[in-house]
Structure 1
Amino acid sequence: MVWRKEDKETVNGPCLQAGQYGLPGFLVLLLGLLTLLWIPVPSHTFLWKAVNNFCHVPLFAGVAIVLVHLIRQLGEPRGWSAASHYAVALAGVVVLGAGSEGIQFYTPGRYPDVSDVLLDIVGGLCALGVGATADPRLSERWRRWQVAPRKHVVRIVSGGLVLAALSPVIIWAYATWHRDHQFPILCQFSSVWDMRFVQAIGSDLSIVSPPSGWTRSSGETVGRIVFHPTNYPGIRINEPSPDWRGYERFSLEIYSEWPTPQPL
């Protein structure tokens, strides 16, 4: 009995302290949430868009942590189970995430995205999952997940989800470095990294070996473009370097598989 009394005091002490700062912390995190809605990113590049999207994960991880502390202050005096605190906190993450996207219907220049809600849920789920593996308030039924190897599985899965959410940032960071590294070449159709910034418009684009008749090809691979019968088919190279000082000419190699010249 003495051990249980001391354990309860040890558990509730940090809980009460967290409750004192829970509401201010929640307001700070809510303010951070609003920044995702109205503060523009530094530039509208693929990389910055990926960074902005990933920020949903750590932000809502923080929201979930604050929510579970707030709900604990409400639930413990009423006899709510510790597991229910996590369930309600996760539901709060879903509501806040969906609500923040819904507001964007009425925000000029912003567009709601279901993938952002999924990232919000990933952030909240990972934070709550890792937190639950070290929470002594949980019942014996849930404490099974606090013992190896189960707790390691939860933490590894959570880390994997965060890494998966971060992967677009890593991919676009490398693609941007690759593009800048091969400047002044815009695109030489030599790898998937070249193609990250190339967009086919009314056409089909693929990387192939040079045709046998193209003896002047400067590379081992070329881009094969098949135009569809539509208005202005072609390809678009997104986000080229804006600074071309010191360059006077634009060089482009084109080969047609038609036996006779074709009007463009």
Structure 2
Amino acid sequence: MVRYRLLLTRLGQPREKRRLGYFVLALLAVFNSWLLFVYHLPGHTLFWYTLQDAGHGLIFLTLSLALCVCLHLLFSTPPTRVVPWVFGLCLAFGGGAELVQALVGRSPSWGDFWLDVLGTSAGLSLYLSSLSNGPVRWVCLLLAFALMWIDLSTPLRVHWAENQRQKQFPVLADFDNRWLNGFVRAADTARWQAVPPPVAWRGHDSNVARLDQFPGDWPGLHLFEVEPDWSNYTVFSFDVFNPSQAVARVTVRISDIAHNHMYPDRFNRMYKFKPGAQHIEISLDKVRSAPRTREMDLTRMKAVIIYTYRLNEERTLYFDNIQLR
């Protein structure tokens, strides 16, 4: 901070400092608006999306810290007034950014605004640490670190989950590993949870996926961002248990990264699950040749969805051991 003051003494009169201050404020507004509305990280996976969201905290950390330095040194604002001014300015900027998103067809997010608050608070803590000595400085530094840890915790957890997913491969989902479960979600009107197997599923003692399907267009179980390289395997398989006395008609859909979201451009096959337990195997040669106008790239696989088309009544199915062989 002393070095900044020595540099700024060369600017001359307070009017010149204020002009520089207004220029810096405008530059900060433009640069941070570009980061929030235009810039996107290069990846298209869950990790990159969560890191993009966590970037709100990093943006507002640097913004709040820069505003503190600007107001303190260029506008001669006392430190006791810098903190509330910067906190208010950053929250107004963050809230305004979310409102603007609503006006241009994007959804405003309270989660993003919360990350803005975390980043702002971390930046203010760093600023206060630069003005403090002894234990107070360390408290401010630890607070800033804790706030940014909260901000980055989600992408860090996703990154760890991706590592665990790679270690478990060729198992895609066994519903015992909570990290693998992070890449499973319900599709459409379905609901899923990892539970002990039903008593009637004899010889099965590990957790399974209970899929409750409610009337809808395509309720099902969605494995997203699966480990991509299936080229060294020949079979996709899973176990299913149908507790009902009625046959369940279910479609298995498998797609790669190049999938164009059209029905003929993926693997689709309808199966009839009889009452009780059964084991399903699908040749990966059939998966590869399933798209009508191309071959599926087994080195760049993306998703598996097990669903029912236009279900009219509620039902429950159990799944386990979704894997490659």
Residue 254 in 1 paired to residue 251 in 2? no
Residue 62 in 1 paired to residue 47 in 2? no
**What is residue 142 of structure 1 aligned with on the other side?**
none
What is the identity, as a one-letter code, of the residue corresponding to 1:124? T
Gap runs ≥5 in structure 1: 1-8, 136-145
- Larger helix percent: 1
Pick one of 166, 169, 179 that aligns with 1:180.
Answer: 166
CA contact (8 A) 2:5 2:73 kept: no
Pick one of 118, 123, 143 that aligns with 1:122.
Answer: 118
Q: 1:81 to 1:169 in 2, by over 3 A?
A: same
RMSD between superposed Cα atoms in Å: 3.0
**What is residue 226 of structure 1 aligned with on the other side?**
212
**Deviation per CA, 1:81-135, whole angstroms, max 9, x where unpaired?**
3211222122221222223333323546x44322222222221221222221332
CA contact (8 A) 2:40 2:52 kept: no
Q: 1:10 to 1:155 in 2, by over 3 A?
A: closer
**What is residue 113 of structure 1 aligned with on the other side?**
109
Taking structure 2 as the reference length, the TM-score comes to: 0.63
Pick one of 147, 156, 181 that aligns with 2:142.
Answer: 156
| SS of the residue 1:200 aligns to | strand
Which shifted more, 14-23 or 53-62? 14-23
- CA positional deviation for 1:168: 0.1
Residue 101 in 1 paired to residue 87 in 2? no
- CA positional deviation for 1:192: 1.7
Q: d(CA) in 1 for partners of 2:219 and 2:242?
A: 16
Q: d(CA) in 2 for partners of 1:235 and 1:10?
A: 59
Gap runs ≥5 in structure 2: 12-16, 250-325
Q: d(CA) in 1 for partners of 2:226 and 2:183?
A: 9
**Deviation per CA, 1:204-226, whole angstroms, max 9, x where unpaired?**
32222333443454x62211222
Residue 171 in 1 paired to residue 157 in 2? yes
Count, aligned residues:
240
Pick one of 154, 179, 190 that aligns with 1:203.
Answer: 190
Q: 1:117 to 1:220 in 2, by over 3 A?
A: same
- CA positional deviation for 1:203: 2.9
**What is residue 231 of structure 2 aligned with on the other side?**
245
Q: d(CA) in 2 for partners of 1:62 and 1:11?
A: 17
Q: 1:93 to 1:247 in 2, by over 3 A?
A: same
What is the identity, as a one-letter code, of the residue corresponding to 1:81? P
Q: 1:29 to 1:216 in 2, by over 3 A?
A: farther
Residue 13 in 1 paired to residue 6 in 2? yes
CA contact (8 A) 1:16 1:73 kept: no
